[in-house]
Amino acid sequence: MTHIQDDIKLAYIVAISIMMLFVCFIVFVVLMYNKRQLLYIKEKQLKETEYQNQLLQKELEKQKLIEKERERISHDMHDDLGAGISALKLQAEFLKQKSEDKDLKNDIDELMKISEEMNLSMREMLWSLNSGNDTLGNFIDYAKIYSESFLKKSKIQLLVKIGEGIDADVPISTDLRRNMFLCLKEALNNAYKHSQANKIEILFLCNGKEFSMEISDDGIGINNQSEGNGLRNMKRRMQEQNGECIISSSDIGTTLHFKIEI
């Protein structure tokens, strides 16, 4: 009897040992499977990262080629068109000195005026093409220089204010920089032609990531019943940049408020 009980105990021990070994084997298999799955996921993530890095590298190379092409076009325009316009202006001045016909002199003056406008437009395009100007500080500096040059022959007093929150080194895209400048240009032109203002104030501000440009005058205001192409174009340009153009006007002046996240 005792011998049978010992055999039963031994059988239980063997069975339990086999079950424990089987459980350990199952756990080992599960752990190895999970480990392989983790390695597979990591390898997949690594390959995806490498692929994304390759795409980024290609995009950076593409951007460098675009910037290089922009610089080439900029230099060609400066060397060829700039020299041509300057030569045209000099020739017109020479003809004016030789001419005694009043009507011809007036025509030559008009030609010189057109050449000067072409030269100004070319400088604006060169500024737009130069990728070295793609910072907030360069935009503000150029906007200030242009505004002073545009209004220097008028009786309008210009006041430019730059807020303390402005970070001059913040990068901005060429497209945004050009569209903001064209809005400034249109706003100044409208104020000069229609506002009858004595003073124009330009204010640049930054509130976190939001950059704003306010152009205010003390003129007669805008007729709310009619919105010209200039105002519509400014609104469209800002909308295309995911920005906003807010127009406030009364009989004591007009404020154009341009807001954009940078």
Query: Considering the entire predicted model, what is its pTM?
Result: 0.64
Q: pLDDT > 90: what percent of the chain? A: 22
Question: Max CA-CA distance within the chain?
Answer: 146
To the nearest 10 degrees (0 to 180), the angle between helices 174-190 and 102-129 is 140
DSSP the chain: -HHHHHHHHHHHHHHHHHHHHHHHHHHHHHHHHHHHHHHHHHHHHHHHHHHHHHHHHHHHHHHHHHHHHHHHHHHHIIIIIHHHHHHHHHHHHHHHHH---HHHHHHHHHHHHHHHHHHHHHHHHHHHH-GGG-BHHHHHHHHHHHHHHHHTTSS-EEEEEE-TT--TT-B--HHHHHHHHHHHHHHHHHIIIII--SEEEEEEEEETTEEEEEEEE-SS---TT---HHHHHHHHHHHHTT-EEEEEEETTEEEEEEEEE-
Stretch 58-76: mean pLDDT, rounded?
72
For 125-161, the pLDDT digits (tens) are 778 777 778 889 999 999 999 899 888 888 999 999 9
Residue with tokens 């021990």: 13
Does 8 fall in a domain? Answer: no
Domains in the chain, number: 1
Residue 201 has pLDDT above 70, yes or no: yes
In a domain, 112, yes or no: no
Inside any domain, residue 222 = yes
Tokens 């070295």, residue located = 132
pLDDT in tens, 219-237: 888 775 456 677 888 999 9
150 assigned to some structural domain:
yes
Q: Cα–chain-centroid distance for residue 109?
A: 38
Query: Band of the pLDDT at 76, cuts 50, 70, 90?
Result: low
**105 part of a folded domain:** no
Closest CA to 175 of 217, 139, 204: 139
CATH number of the domain within which 236 lies: 3.30.565.10
Q: Which two tokens stand for residue 31?
A: 């752990």
Give the Cα separation of 145 and 137 in Å (integer). 12
Max mean pLDDT range (20-29, 37-46, 114-123) = 37-46
Within-domain flag for 155:
yes
Q: 111, 90 in Cβ contact below 8 A?
A: no
- Is there a domain that residue 20 lies in? no
236 inside domain: yes
Alpha carbon distance 191, 200 (integer Å): 8
| Residue range of the domain that includes 245 | 134-262
Asked if residue 113 has pLDDT above 60, the reply is: yes
Helix 102-129 / helix 2-76 crossing angle, nearest 10 deg: 160
Q: How wide is the angle at C-alpha 159 spanned by C-alphas 157 and 160, nearest 5°?
A: 150
What is the total residue count of the chain?
A: 262
